Structures are given as C-alpha cells and as structure tokens.
Amino acid sequence: MSFMDQVIPALSDHLQPPRVLGTAILSHLSYRGATHETLMERIRQHAATNPEATEEAAWTYDAAIAAQLAFRRTEGLHLHDDALATTPMFRIAGNHGPAPLRLLALVAPGDLMTNTPLDFLTNSLNIRLDLLYVRPDRALPAVIPDHDVAFFAMGDADPPALARLRWLHAVWPRPALNNPRFLPALARDTLSRSLAGVPGLCSPQAVAVSRETLDAHLRSGRPIEGFDTLYPCLIRPRASHAGAGLSRLENRTDLDDYLHVSFERDFFVTAFEDYSGPDGLYRKSRVAFIDRQPFLCHMAISSHWMVHYLNADMAVSAEKRAEEAWAMATFDNGFVRRHAAAFAALHDRLGFDYYSIDCAETRDGRLLVFEADSAAIVHLMDPPDLFPYKQPQMHKVFAAFDAMLHRRAGF
C-alpha cells in the first residue's frame, strides 16, 4: 500500500490504549540499581493495580524495556515485536492531573534509542502521553486517541519511511512538532559537511566508509576520500550509539587491529579534535534546544577523551559536581553568549522544535559539536542529595517543554 493511499485515522477521546510504565519509570529504577527481577516485579505490580495494564500487550511492552535495560537486547527486541503485533498504541502511566494536555508521539519500532524518550520530560508534567507506532508496510489504525498536539519522535528513518513521515506530518489533523524532513541532517557525515566553515563552530570532519574502503586503505596506504590526513581519528559502527564500538586510531596498525575484532560492515570515521583543557581534563555537555532556546542538561568531566556522564565518576567527585553546578548557574550569561552565533547556525540547519547536541569547547574557544540528536535522553535521575543543583535546572527544561507544547496546542 502506498502511503499516499492511506486514510488519516479518526480521532476518539474514548479510546483507551494499554497503559504501560514506559521507558522513563523503568530506567529510573534501573539507574538506582534495580535488577531485571526487580523491574519485572514492578511490572507485575503495575498490572495488578491497573486494569488497562493487565492486557498481555502492556505487560510484554514493559518487559521488552526491562530486558534491554538488563543488557538483554535481543530478547528485548523480540518482546517489543510481540507487543506491537497485538497493538501499535500504548499510553504511558504518568501522574497527570485533571484536564491534562494530550500529547501523541508518533514513534518507530526499535530499541530504546530509536525515538525521543518523551516520558522523561512529560512524567513530571500534567501531560497525557500516548504512543503510536508507525510500522513499515502497515497502515495506521482506523481510530487513534484524540490529542492536542502530535510529536514526530523518530530519531532516524530510511528513505521510504522518511517519505511517509513527511507526508503524515503535512496532513496531520492536529498541530505537529519536530518535522521529520530534518532527520537526514542529523547523520554524522551530513552534519559535519553542513557545519563546515561556520565561524565559531567546529564539527569534526566525518565520512561514512565501508569495510572494503578501509581494507583498501590498509593495503595501499592511500588516503580515505575526504581526508587529507586521517590520523588520529575516531571510528565507530555506522548504526552505533552511546559510544558502542567507538575507538581512537593513531595509525594504520590501530585500524587493522580494530577491524580484526569488529564484525560490522559500515563505519563512520571522524577527525579527532583534542578538546582537553589546561588541566588535561575533558568537558562534554548536553545542551537541549526547545523552540531554539538552549538549556544545559549535564556537563561531564573526565580524564578520558571518550566522555559519558556514567563513566565520568561525577557522583564520587565533589569538585566535578561543583564545576557542573557553576556551569549551570552561569550558562545563560556565559556559554550561551559565547556561542550565540554557532547556535543560530545550528538552528538554520536543524529545524526541529526540540533536539539536543553533545558539545564541548575547543582550545581556541569554538563550539565543538560531536553530534546532534532528537532522541537523546534528558532526565532528572541523579540523586538530589548529591546533585541538588540539577533539580531547579531540569525543572526549567521541563517547564520550557510544557510551555512549547501548550503554545503549539493553542492554549
């Protein structure tokens, strides 16, 4: 069936999708140390006390999340497929009050990094969040929950899916956020080309390469197309996230060793920019943009160039936390002002209503953009006794997101 032949679903405020705990609630429990068994017990308790959750699809959906959080990805994806085989619609069991704003997220099948994890934002707001899965080669349901605003939450799409999503966004019966036509601009190589030459901004050159191309480089020593000098560089599997399979290469021997332990066929190779500070530490920030307004969501500080918040030992260093707190307190009058022109250039190329970047500052003061993403996690999971400064900061983020949804909904 051509997507152009599809009929937009009817809207009903009486439809009650299966009610699930969702990614945010289960991730919070996992972040605090809950085992897979503990997560499954929480899912069983939810099913016992919520009639809508007793449906097999709801239990299976949450079990799929629990499996992935326990690093049982294959099992989790099988469970996810089983849940979607029963229904493409789910309702997140939030704590919203009377007359909530009704938000419908159009999402794609996949793992926990496939879509914008909206419930991390909405669970603290008076918002009813419904998920509608847009599945390849499947028509949308005849009837879906009515809503005040829709959010196209897919973080990526192949060309056929992208064409369908663009059409849906254009004809959707309610106000719709995050136009999917900008999704191709998020690819690492596309983003680096788009941002090349922007004053005050550094987006290291990135090229998509095949294993065959890399093997030919090893045999001949000829440069990779797009690079005058390849090393040092970073390499990662093309579909990877969160540093999976990421490595730094200093020479061809490193590349040869890397390919011997990787089974992937396609990669991104990215120029390495040394962004360490005068003290030798690396500082990496996640900045969320809500209607073009920037918010600092975290800053990780590490002695290693591959910085993630979870591996930066922020919880065991009062000095690092104090620096992060200072960065949040001075963000608007410091970081934002320094990089206002770079932010404007980003917005010109990424027309999303909501997205985030992982970034740093180069030694010469430019904004260093590692990646841009519409599906990164923005959360308030860190313990408030250790991170008290995050409570007011993240509630500013949530309030801005809430205000954006209400503006688009028209109330």
Residues above pLDDT 90, as percent of the chain: 79
Which secondary-structure segment (H or E) carries 400? helix 390-409
Q: Does 312 or 26 have the greater pLDDT score?
A: 26
User: What is the pLDDT of the chain when averaged over all its residues?
Assistant: 92
**What is the number of alpha carbons within 13 Å of residue 123 lying toward its C-beta?**
21
Q: What are phi and psi of 233, to 5 degrees?
A: -150, 170
Taking a C-beta distance cutoff of 8 angstroms, is the pair 188, 268 a contact?
A: yes
Q: Would the pLDDT of 96 be above 80?
A: no
Beta strands in 88-138 (DSSP E): 89-92, 101-107, 127-133
Position 411 scores a pLDDT of: 87
Position 2 scores a pLDDT of: 61
Domains observed in the chain: 3-180 (no CATH), 205-271 (3.30.1490.20), 282-409 (3.30.470)
Q: CA nearest 251: which of 204, 228, 218, 275? A: 218
Q: Would the pLDDT of 1 be above 60?
A: no
Give me the mean pLDDT over the 238-247 stretch: 78
Lowest pLDDT segment from 88-102, 283-297, 354-368: 88-102
Q: Would the pLDDT of 53 be above 70?
A: no
Q: Would the pLDDT of 100 be above 90?
A: yes
pLDDT tens for 168-177 read: 999 999 999 9
DSSP 144-181: EE--SEEEE-BS---HHHHHHHHHHHHH-SS-EES-GG
Position 49 scores a pLDDT of: 82
Its pTM stands at 0.92
Lowest pLDDT segment from 54-58, 182-186, 188-192, 195-199: 54-58
Lowest pLDDT segment from 9-18, 237-246, 373-382: 237-246
Radius of gyration of the chain from its Cα atoms, rounded to whole angstroms: 22
pLDDT tens for 320-355 read: 999 999 999 999 999 999 999 999 999 999 999 999
Angstrom distance (rounded) from CA 309 to CA 312: 5
Position 189 scores a pLDDT of: 87
